[in-house]
Amino acid sequence: MQPRNISKFYYKNLFIYSTPQFNGSMEKYFVSHTEKLVVFVIMPDSKEGFNMVRLYNKGLLVEEKRAWTSDNKFLYYASWYFYQIFFMLKYFTKDERFVLIGGHPLSFFGMWIQKLLRQVTFVYMIGDYFPTINTVYYLFQKLKEFYHGSIPYSFYLSDPVNKIMNESVLNTSNRKTIMWGVKPKKIERELSKAQHSMLFVGLIKENQGLELLFEFLRAHKEYILKIVGISHGDLYEKYTAMIKNLGISKQVYYPNRFFSDKDLNKISKECFVGVAPYLTGPMHGTYFVDPGKIKAYTEMQLPVIMSNTSSIAQYIKDFKAGEIIKRDVVSLHEALIKIRDNYSSYKAGVEAFNKHFFYETYYGEKFKFLENIV
């Protein structure tokens, strides 16, 4: 695909959600191509005490303000919804038609009231699926299905999620899969200095296989693991205790916080591969989604080692941008050696992968349907 005019504004008025975490350069894409864009930034950790709103006019940042939130669950969601309504009223007049792209059912609560207040058309971005292993997940899925059936436009971050919501994978003007895009960074690394360092980035959860990486480090003292991300609850204490008990403290960098792009790029330069040994199988949410972690690695020009879960694994395999492993120490070790011994080949695979998902061309084609409704 050839990029359309990268300086043209294809969309008139949009209200979208964003996050400081990896979001496939979606915000950047819409900033470049929307006349008026309101971005509601939800912080990944409510303990920050604030979210943010940004107003762009033809690609230029006009306003950026904080929006109060709380780590109390009720107040967290109540303030989120309040500010959505407030920003709709503040930044769009009664005469302006705009599209709101939301990824959480909360965004669509009381749609009929929101439509009375402003001329809004809703688009549902469904990025995840949680197996109905308990009542909470079951009710949450039913709520998603209810709004999905009430909203005329939806897109999905993976084909498996698309299929769950529609019983088959749809690719129509108002129902389609749109995966995360990528914006490759120019990062050069010296393999001789980085060849024993692995990078793990993103929100840290128990289904992401850190235990396997710790076991690997215990057996292979020459390797180092850099963990960049936030652990919620008591997970940080659990993992730091595990690291100490396994005697791998000197092999693990785990500050338990997010970094700026500049600092993250610097850390990634010291590593030669990105790792994602997720738990596998349909009882784990990663099985269905397009995990941002994988494309964050390829953006940083890192080959990927991941377990065989998520449809993105097939793309990594097809483009030869990494290795798909069994979830054991031996398979991980073999993948590390294979990538290190054929590094230029895997780098070429990462470049081909990034070209396929390059955000300007990929989103330009996938989001054409928005041009007809704004």
215 and 299 fall within a common domain: yes
**pLDDT tens by residue, 20-56:** 888 899 999 999 999 999 999 998 766 668 999 999 9
CB 178 within 8 Å of CB 172: no
Sign of CA dihedral 44, 48, 50, 53: negative
Per DSSP, what are the bridge partners of residue 197? 224
CATH number at residue 283: 3.40.50.2000
Query: What's the domain range around 218?
Result: 191-356
Q: Per residue of the chain (374 residues), give pLDDT as tens.
A: 555 666 689 999 999 999 888 889 999 999 999 999 999 999 876 666 899 999 999 999 999 999 999 989 899 999 999 999 999 999 999 999 999 999 999 999 999 999 999 999 999 999 988 877 788 888 999 999 999 999 999 999 999 999 999 999 999 999 999 999 999 999 989 999 899 999 999 888 888 899 999 999 999 999 999 999 888 778 999 999 999 999 999 999 999 988 888 899 999 999 999 999 998 888 877 888 999 999 999 999 999 999 999 999 999 999 999 999 999 999 999 999 999 999 999 999 999 999 999 999 999 999 999 998 86
Whole-structure pTM over 0.85, yes or no?
yes
201 and 90 fall within a common domain: no
Residue 126 φ/ψ, nearest 5 degrees: -105, 110
222 and 349 fall within a common domain: yes
CB atoms within 10 A of CB 295: 27
146 and 234 fall within a common domain: no
206 and 329 fall within a common domain: yes
DSSP letter string, 225-257? EEEES-B-TTHHHHHHHHHHHTT-GGGEE---S
Q: Residue 104: which residues within 8 A CB-CB, separation 6 or more? A: 17
CB 79 within 8 Å of CB 63: no
267 and 170 fall within a common domain: no
Q: What residue type is 255 in one-letter code?
A: P
Structural domain tally of the chain? 2
**pLDDT tens by residue, 255-286:** 998 888 889 999 999 999 999 999 888 887 78
- 5 within some domain: no
Sign of CA dihedral 161, 165, 166, 171: negative
- 340 within some domain: yes
122 and 249 fall within a common domain: no
149 and 221 fall within a common domain: no
DSSP label at residue 365:
H
- 54 within some domain: yes
Q: Residue 314: which residues within 8 A CB-CB, separation 6 or more? A: none
74 and 151 fall within a common domain: yes
- 2 within some domain: no
